Homo-oligomer: A and B are copies of this chain.
Amino acid sequence: MEAGSDDIQALIGLLARLPGLGPRSARRIVLQLIRKRGGQMAQLATLIERVAMNSRECLSCGNITDRDICAICTDPARANGEICVVQDVADLWALERGGAFRGRYHVLGGTLSALDEIGPEDLRIPELIDRITRDSMTEVILALNATVEGQTTAHYIADALDQTAVTITGLAQGVPIGGELDYLDDGTISAALRARRRI
């Protein structure tokens, strides 16, 4: 038997399924929210509602935005010729925190996987090829995880762009073998980006 109201149990259950949380951390969070409920809970509920209402994928790059086209895609100060391809929005955020890249992005939304039956069409890869061709991009930076899946995906994209004039680069050393971008410190990511090499 578990104490607390049905709502509290339902809230713990929902939180426990979020990434990085489990039943124990979910219980701790709910108890702290109840203790400090004055401002914190109302603010949290309001923000979650507003984010749910307003957030969607940028129609051009796949970044999370509250408009059709995101602020990065519409920023006139950013370089049009360079496009940085990432697996997830979390990786885009990590690169932006580093501040070393001033071009455009393309978020794949995952990696190719024969096992999970994830093909190029599931990953916004056709949209990427379209953008590169249509916007006459000069450089594509494949900033994908240094995992087998990430590198398989990078090679697939490089092959698909083989007949175009675009220069294809990848992040330089600095990304450890098997490492995931979002786990690295911002300086390491920036250094790897600056030392990027032709694939």
| A residues lining the B interface (CB < 8 Å) | 1-5, 7-8, 10-11, 14-15, 18-21, 24-25, 27-34, 37, 40-52, 54-55, 63-66, 70-72, 88-90, 92-93, 96-97, 99, 182-183
CB-CB < 8 A to A88: which residues of B? 31
Copies of this protein, total: 2
Do A64 and B34 touch (CB < 8 A)? Answer: yes
Q: Bound state CA distance, A25 and B90, in angstroms?
A: 11
Do B11 and A48 touch (CB < 8 A)? Answer: yes
Do B51 and A48 touch (CB < 8 A)? Answer: no
Q: Bound state CA distance, A88 and B35, in angstroms?
A: 11
Do A66 and B10 touch (CB < 8 A)? Answer: no
CB-CB < 8 A to A43: which residues of B? 14
User: 20 new A-B pairs (CB below 8 Å) besides A5-B54, A31-B64?
Assistant: A1-B99, A3-B89, A4-B64, A5-B64, A7-B50, A10-B47, A14-B43, A18-B29, A21-B29, A24-B182, A30-B51, A31-B90, A34-B51, A37-B52, A41-B48, A41-B52, A42-B49, A45-B46, A45-B48, A45-B52
